[in-house]
Amino acid sequence: MTDLLRAENLCKSFGSIKAVNQASITVPAGSITGLIGPNGAGKTTFFNLLSNFIVPDQGQVMFNGQPIQQLPPHRIARLGMVRTFQVAKALSRLSVLENMLLGAQDQIGEKMWQAWMPQVAKDQKQLKEKAMTILTDIGMDHKAADFAGGLSGGQRKLLEMGRALMSDPKLILLDEPAAGVNPRLIDDICGHIQRWRKDGMSFLVIEHNMDVIMSLCDRVWVLAEGSNLVDGPPAKVQNDPQVLEAYLGS
């Protein structure tokens, strides 16, 4: 498999604290790759560096064979790498459907001078159909007209994934998709992720829930104190003495 995303030697310091120190990762195309590590290991910061929400001090990020560490976050998203957030960000005062529609790329009418054009209505109608298909898929079609601010934590996670899906991404970065979600819904979320992978999408997943990591991931990378500890298939990583030590302390 070719590497869809390859990050090498990323570093980021906040003052004297090295949050991420020489961390690397590769995500092969079509894979579900896991990123785990104890709290404070720098996983979320690492995500922010990959998507350039925080500019790395040094290091290189290649996406789909193109260097992206110089690009602003929205350009990276347009290339097909979309992220979600650890605390799911629903746009409260927009409806669930509007949240979904925001995800679509290259919409006619997103430019001010195109907003009056008659084609906008037709384009929006198609996008609404697409959004409803995805919402039905994730079991949220009955919520389409509600304000997103009224959703539960788990539904917000689902909405974020659906919204990311609207942009037809190549790679979705999921930051703790199962955190604070009830076990039933976790199973649903895992099922959706596996199905979307079959449709050709790749995932990079931060997660603390080991069951989720074990059942989803092809390969797991462990981060501790901002640096790579080990990486390998989930079963191997789970029993690695170094990983156990990092989690449990010595």
Partner 1 sequence: MSNYIVFLTLSAATYAIFGLGLNLQWGYTGLVNFGHVAFMTVGAYTTVLLSLQGVPLWIAAPIGGTLAAFLGLLIGLTTLRLREDYLGIVTIGVSELVRITIQSDKFTPITGGVGGIQRYELPLNFAPAVPSYLTKLGFIGLFAAVMGLASWRLWVWGRKNMNKMWQAALGIVSFFIIYICGAISLYNYDDRAGLMLLTVTTLAIIYVGLERLINSPWGRVLKAIREDEEVPKALGKNVFWYKLQALMLGGGIAGIAGAFYAWQITSLYPSNFEPLLTFNAWTIVSLGGAGNNVGVILGAVVFWAYDTVTRLDWIKSLPFSSDQVGAFRIMIIGLILMVIMLWRPQGLLGNKDELTLGK
Q: Does the footprint of partner 1 cover residue 98 (CB under 8 A)?
A: yes
Q: Looking at residues 55 to 74 of the shown chain, list those that interact with partner 1 (rule: CB under 8 A).
A: 72-74
Using CB under 8 A, which of 9, 62, 85, 232 touches partner 1? 85
* Nearest by Cα to 165 from 149, 142, 146, 189: 189
How many other CB atoms are there within 10 angstroms of residue 233's CB atom? 11
Using CB under 8 A, which of 102, 132, 144, 210 touches partner 1? 102
Q: Which stretch binds partner 1 (CB under 8 A): 77-85, 135-143, 176-184, 209-217?
A: 77-85
* Nearest by Cα to 46 from 62, 66, 71, 22: 22
Q: Quick one: tokens of 232?
A: 């390998």
Q: Does the footprint of partner 1 cover residue 109 (CB under 8 A)?
A: yes
Q: Quick one: tokens of 139?
A: 């079991």
What Å distances lie between residue 61 and 44, 47, 173, 225, CA to CA? 16, 12, 14, 20
Q: Looking at residues 26 to 55 of the shown chain, list those that interact with partner 1 (rule: CB under 8 A).
A: 51, 53
Using CB under 8 A, which of 105, 119, 152, 194 touches partner 1? 105
Separation between Cα atoms, residue 55 and residue 71, nearest integer Å: 10
Query: Cβ 238 to partner 1, closest distance in Å?
Result: 31
Separation between Cα atoms, residue 219 and residue 212, nearest integer Å: 13
Separation between Cα atoms, residue 205 and residue 35, nearest integer Å: 6
Q: Does the footprint of partner 1 cover residue 163 (CB under 8 A)?
A: yes
What's 95's DSSP letter? Answer: B
Using CB under 8 A, which of 24, 124, 215, 238 touches partner 1? 124
Using CB under 8 A, which of 14, 115, 236, 244 touches partner 1? 115
Binding site for partner 1 (CB under 8 A): 51, 53, 72-75, 77-78, 82-85, 89, 91-94, 98, 101-103, 105, 107-112, 114-116, 120, 124, 147, 149-150, 163-164, 167
